[in-house]
Amino acid sequence: MSTTGTPANSNPITLPSVLHFLNTEWRRFERDRNEWAIERESLLSRTAQLVGEKRALETANADLLQRLALLEYALKRERNIATGEPPVPSAPPPETISKKAPSIAHARSREILKTYLAEASHLVAKTQSRTHDLQHVDSGSGQLETWKSGFGAMEDDAQQQVKVVDAKYARTVQNHLSNGGELPAFGHGVRTNGNHSDSDTETADSGKYFERKKEEEIVQTTDLDLIDSVASVTAALKKQTIVDLTGPDYSIGSSEREGILLPDADPSPSKLWKVKSTLSSHLDAVRTIQFLPNSNQQSQSQKHSKSLLTASEDGTIKLWSLDPLFPSPTTSATGTTRRRPSTMSSSLLDLEPSYTFRGHIGPVTALAVCSDASGFYTGGVDASVRYWNLVDKNGNSLTKRDSYDSYESNPQKEIIVAHTDVVWEMALNSDVVSGTADATVHLATASADGTVKLFTTDSHSLVRSFVGDAEDAVSDYSGRSRNVPTSLAWMPKDSGRRLAVSYSGGEIFVYDVETGAVVAQMQGDDGGERSQINKIVAHPTLPLLISAHEDRSVRFHDLLSGSCIQSIVAHLEAVTSLSVHRSGTTLASGGHDCSIRWWDVGTRRCVQEYSTHRLKGTGEGIWDVAFSDWGDEEEECFASGGADGSVKMFGMI
Amino acid sequence: MVINRNKKGTRLELKTVDTDSDDKLDDSLAEKLIRRAESSLAVQTVIQHGIVFCHSLFAVMLKHIQWGASIVLAVDNSDIEAIVRLPEGVDPAVWQCEHLRQLCLQLNQLVALLIPECLPSNEDCREMKAGEWQYLCAAHVSPQPCSAIDYIIHTLDGATALLNSSKFFPSRATIPMASHKHFSSIARRLYRIFAHSWFHHREIFDDFENETCLYKRFLFLSTIEFQLIPEKLITIPQVFDMGV
């Protein structure tokens, strides 16, 4: 029950562990209580259903009995007429029954309406609460509040639903009256219902309305009122039923209500992403992936082929050449032949990496590729930042080599030791306009030691170090709640001067790297594990910042106003990664529920959803997604890296 | 039992695979994990658990490694046996496959340490030698006398590719019978990496072994638990107390 990975023989009773235990126990109790409440509601609705059925059967029974009595009476009368006897004095009873029937019937009808109201509220609340539950599922006390609010909000809908029932029933009553028939005698089962403390007062009121004509009027007016609401309520009901039919995993909501969005309309099949192949050579979870940008070299051997870099928890970074996925006349003529012996893998579908970069001790967690693709930076659990060459000493691109060529030259160029804890994220500001005075390319690295450090790429010297809030610098007893930077994004304009940093407590700070000052600050939810931001990306053209959160949401922030425009519940588990297409129209997100979703940035609706990768352990799904920025429309590529160690490649065609 | 994802922002002390501190690595824990089988990668999780349990100081050690320092960790033989021993209800082929994958994973670190040292300019490292034996690299169409570092990397990459290939190991939950024979050849080739570093790069081998006990675990796996390597191919002298 201790939250730290200490050896088994240390003292388990510590204050943090006790508090943690109390927390978990409390949450568990809340959860149990909510489950009990859910069960209770479902049982209540079931009993309401059954009672309603029973009552319906009883009224049908009574109806038939009365018909029987009438027929017997009629038969007797016929018989008397036939035998010439005077009319039987038992005629009055039916009439008195028919006279009393309206008054009693009206009272009864009001009671019936009340019971229908109760039944319908149970049934409606049950279906509504299911959808609300999905949207507001949270551990702890939040759930109970949302239950209460959900029921409160549902009163309106319940009333509407009941109005529908009222309207239907009122119509049947009216039909009976206009037909001149007697209202069925609901003598039997109605009294047994218990919830009619107000129905007694109602019967006292209704005692005034004994005349049938006045009843007709009342029924008519109420009917007219309700006809308008019927149309709208049935429309609402239709929407609700659609919600139910889609199953427990999804609920449709408009973007104003937080809801997981299903694809609206089927996009044309040619615009969908499809899996092209799987790259599996990593032995552990793939933590981060990035495509190589198009390089501008002249000679064919120096030019990189379309390639992908993947960094993994097994401590290696692999470079994959993706030419086999895009067969074209030019590449096949100059492509290298893969020499594979018969005992090793011989399947054409298995791509092997062109190069495996070894050197990190422990998992590699961060990756940043230079814009001219001459090298790349990596950061890992060993707190080191390493720079690697992508071009070997002869000037040939490493993407062109065969997997089993000589490894004699070590591509690892430099190790920067500056951080004292895990380096979780790094980013290069590659949109710098060259030729201006402040045109240095900077590397920003974020680490769990709480700092964001800035290096120049030519001399690898430390330029600046940003620390978070001063209060958070003091570590809490549990350690985990300390606010550490989790993700970085350079703002694409302003010649590479602005850097956005997101923290595990949910805040986003935008720094000006020249002065070191905070330019903008966006506050998140209250701290705690669920508010952690896992990734932020900057939109290439709009002043928009998009963040992915542990609480399953993706949020859009406006940089001009510094506020959150919108929050969408994007996945069923934590959202771990985001990638924006360079055109700015599509956003992709991946989460621990093993699904990838593509969103349209303008309307913020989900365009496509794809589930892939397998869960590792207790719920690690997808760690990173990336668009390729190559510029060729036919060869657009998308990749996702998962905790099962595989990388899936997607293409449009 | 709480198992944490290593999400961004986790600090080093906490970056382990967590479990309750009173759980011991015994058969019941492994069975619990595998029976729950929420994912097809449960076996890998079990092995990684075991390693972290036995080397629970591992994460702390990582922080303290300055280039060149070494830390001696005395690990009980029984702990290593506990990682390697086949638990009930697990397919032996899957167990071997996952152990070999974990072995390749950790050998990456040894290779990372060897790369700056094992240069073809060394007399011993111009060809792949281990003691008196010389090996030809089988990763090519015809066996080639690669330099030592090339041989090592090609072998490791080849083993990794084989263990990940869709033809021989399509699924991580079941292994086709035809692929069982590859375990022994993989183990034999990986053994040579240990052999070369023991004979010609003794300090690196000792540092690495003290830190991870990988060689001991490998020997347990391939000679005692599953007979993957015949005795006569074990060229490193028996200096380790195997406690058999």
Q: What is the 3-state secondary structure (H, E, C) of B215-243?
A: HHHHHHHHHHHCCCCCHHHCCCCCCCCCC
CA distance A1 to B20: 5
For the ranges A58-67, A202-211, A598-607, B154-163, the one whose mean pLDDT is highest: A58-67
Predicted local distance difference test score (pLDDT) of residue A25 = 95
Put simply, whether A456 touches B (Cβ < 8 Å) is no
List CB contacts (< 8 A) between B185 and chain A: 343
Which residue from B minimizes the CA distance to A530?
Answer: B7
Predicted local distance difference test score (pLDDT) of residue A38 = 95
Six token digits for residue B46: 């079990």
Residue B238 lies in a domain: no
Residue A447 lies in a domain: yes
Six token digits for residue A147: 């239950």
| B125 annotated to bind ligand | yes
- Across all residues in chain A, what is the average pLDDT? 71
Domain check: are B134 and B196 in the same one? yes
Residue A162 lies in a domain: no
Q: Are A498 and A488 contacting, i.e. CB atoms less than 8 angstroms apart?
A: no
Q: Are A333 and B130 contacting, i.e. CB atoms less than 8 angstroms apart?
A: no
Tell which wins on pLDDT, A491 or A41: A41
Predicted local distance difference test score (pLDDT) of residue A285 = 87
Domain check: are B57 and B110 in the same one? no
Put simply, whether B9 touches A (Cβ < 8 Å) is yes
CA dihedral sign of residues A206, A212, A216, A219: positive
Domain check: are B100 and B73 in the same one? no
**CATH code of the domain in which A605 resides:** 2.130.10.10
Residue A53 sits in which domain range? 42-76
Average pLDDT, integer, range A207-226? 42
Predicted local distance difference test score (pLDDT) of residue A21 = 93
For the ranges A89-93, A392-396, A634-638, the one whose mean pLDDT is highest: A634-638
Six token digits for residue B131: 């003691």
| B196 annotated to bind ligand | yes
Sort A28 into a burial class: Cβ within 10 Å, 0-12 / 13-18 / 19+: exposed
The pTM (predicted TM-score) of the whole model is 0.63
Residue B243 lies in a domain: no
User: Residues A138-150, buried b or exposed e (16+ Cβ, 10 A)?
Assistant: eeeeebeebbeeb
- Across all residues in chain B, what is the average pLDDT? 73
Structural domains counted in chain A? 2
How is chain B split among helix, strand and coil, in percent rounded to 5? 55, 0, 45
Predicted local distance difference test score (pLDDT) of residue A135 = 47
**Which of residues 601 through 640 in chain A touch B, CB cutoff 8 A?**
614-620
Predicted local distance difference test score (pLDDT) of residue A303 = 65
List CB contacts (< 8 A) between A352 and chain B: 157, 161
User: Residues B54-81, buried b or exposed e (16+ Cβ, 10 A)?
Assistant: bbbbbbebbeeeeeeeeeeeeeeeebbb
Q: How many angstroms separate the Cα of B39 from the Cα of each of A282, A617, A649, B42?
A: 18, 6, 22, 6
Tell which wins on pLDDT, B70 or A366: A366
Cβ–Cβ gap B5/A618 under 8 Å: yes
* Nearest-10 crossing angle of helices B181-200, B148-164: 150
Which residue from B minimizes the CA distance to A417?
Answer: B66
Domain check: are B140 and B163 in the same one? yes
Helix (H) or strand (E) holding A413: strand A412-417
| B49 annotated to bind ligand | no
Tell which wins on pLDDT, A635 or A234: A635
Domain check: are B96 and B52 in the same one? no
List CB contacts (< 8 A) between B166 and chain A: 278, 280, 347, 349-350
**Which among A1, A365, A410 has the least Cβ separation from residue B20?**
A1
Q: How many angstroms separate the Cα of A297 from the Cα of each of A7, A377, A399, B34?
A: 54, 20, 13, 52
**Which of residues 51 through 110 in chain B touch A, CB cutoff 8 A?**
52-53, 56-57, 59, 62-63, 65, 101-102, 104-105, 108-109
Residue A180 lies in a domain: no
CA distance, residue A5 to nearest chain B CA (Å):
6
Which of B77, B103, B121 is the last residue in one of the domains? B77
For the ranges A44-53, A195-204, A460-469, A624-633, the one whose mean pLDDT is highest: A44-53
List CB contacts (< 8 A) between B15 and chain A: 381, 422
Residue B134 lies in a domain: yes
Residue B97 lies in a domain: yes
Domain check: are B143 and B228 in the same one? yes
Domain check: are B144 and B117 in the same one? yes
Task: Give A578's pLDDT tier (boundaries 50, 70, 90).
Answer: very high
Tell which wins on pLDDT, A322 or A85: A322
Six token digits for residue A213: 């004509």
Task: Please identify which residue in the block is written with the tokens 């449009």.
Answer: A652
Which of B20, B53, B77 is the last residue in one of the domains? B77
Transcribe A345-377 into DSSP letters.
---TT----SEEEE--SS-EEEEEE-TTSSEEE
Task: Please identify which residue in the block is written with the tokens 């019927």.
Answer: A230
The answer, yes or no, to whether residue A341 has pLDDT greater than 50, is no
CA distance A1 to A8: 11
Average pLDDT, integer, range A63-88? 84
Residue B166 sits in which domain range? 92-233
Cβ–Cβ gap A346/B167 under 8 Å: yes
Cβ–Cβ gap B7/A482 under 8 Å: no
Helix (H) or strand (E) holding A52: helix A15-83
* Lowest model confidence (mean pLDDT) among A53-67, A239-253, B203-217: A239-253
Which of B49, B77, B105 is the last residue in one of the domains? B77
Cβ–Cβ gap B166/A349 under 8 Å: yes
For the ranges A585-599, A619-633, B118-132, the one whose mean pLDDT is highest: A585-599
Residue A91 lies in a domain: no
Predicted local distance difference test score (pLDDT) of residue A256 = 35
Domain check: are B104 and B209 in the same one? yes
**CATH code of the domain in which B176 resides:** 1.20.140.30
Average pLDDT, integer, range A433-447? 67
Cβ–Cβ gap A480/B39 under 8 Å: no
Task: Give A383's pLDDT tier (boundaries 50, 70, 90).
Answer: confident
The answer, yes or no, to whether residue A227 has pLDDT greater than 60, is no
Domain check: are B108 and B63 in the same one? no
**Which of residues 115 through 144 in chain B touch A, CB cutoff 8 A?**
115-116, 119-120, 138-141
Domain check: are B68 and B101 in the same one? no
Residue B83 lies in a domain: no
CA distance, residue B186 to nearest chain A CA (Å):
10
CA distance A484 to A506: 10
Structural domains counted in chain B? 2
Task: Please identify which residue in the block is written with the tokens 């060869």.
Answer: A635
Average pLDDT, integer, range A318-336? 62
CA distance A635 to A325: 9
Residue A287 lies in a domain: yes
Residue B199 lies in a domain: yes
Residue B109 lies in a domain: yes
CA distance A186 to A105: 7
Six token digits for residue A648: 């899936």
Task: Give B77's pLDDT tier (boundaries 50, 70, 90).
Answer: low
Task: Give A73's pLDDT tier (boundaries 50, 70, 90).
Answer: very high
**Which among A3, A448, A616 has the least Cβ separation from residue B9?**
A448
Domain check: are B113 and B61 in the same one? no
List CB contacts (< 8 A) between A349 and chain B: 166
Residue B82 lies in a domain: no
Put simply, whether A182 touches B (Cβ < 8 Å) is no
Predicted local distance difference test score (pLDDT) of residue B53 = 54
Q: Measure the CA angle with vertex B136, ends B182 and B151; round to 5°.
A: 80
Residue A142 lies in a domain: no
Q: Are A246 and A262 contacting, i.e. CB atoms less than 8 angstroms apart?
A: yes
Beta pairing, strands A575-580 & A355-358: unpaired
Predicted local distance difference test score (pLDDT) of residue A302 = 58
- A547: three-class secondary structure by DSSP: strand
Domain check: are B145 and B174 in the same one? yes
Residue A355 lies in a domain: yes
Cβ–Cβ gap B59/A5 under 8 Å: yes
**Which among A339, A403, A424 has the least Cβ separation from residue B8?**
A424
DSSP 8-state symbol, B159:
H
Residue A82 lies in a domain: no
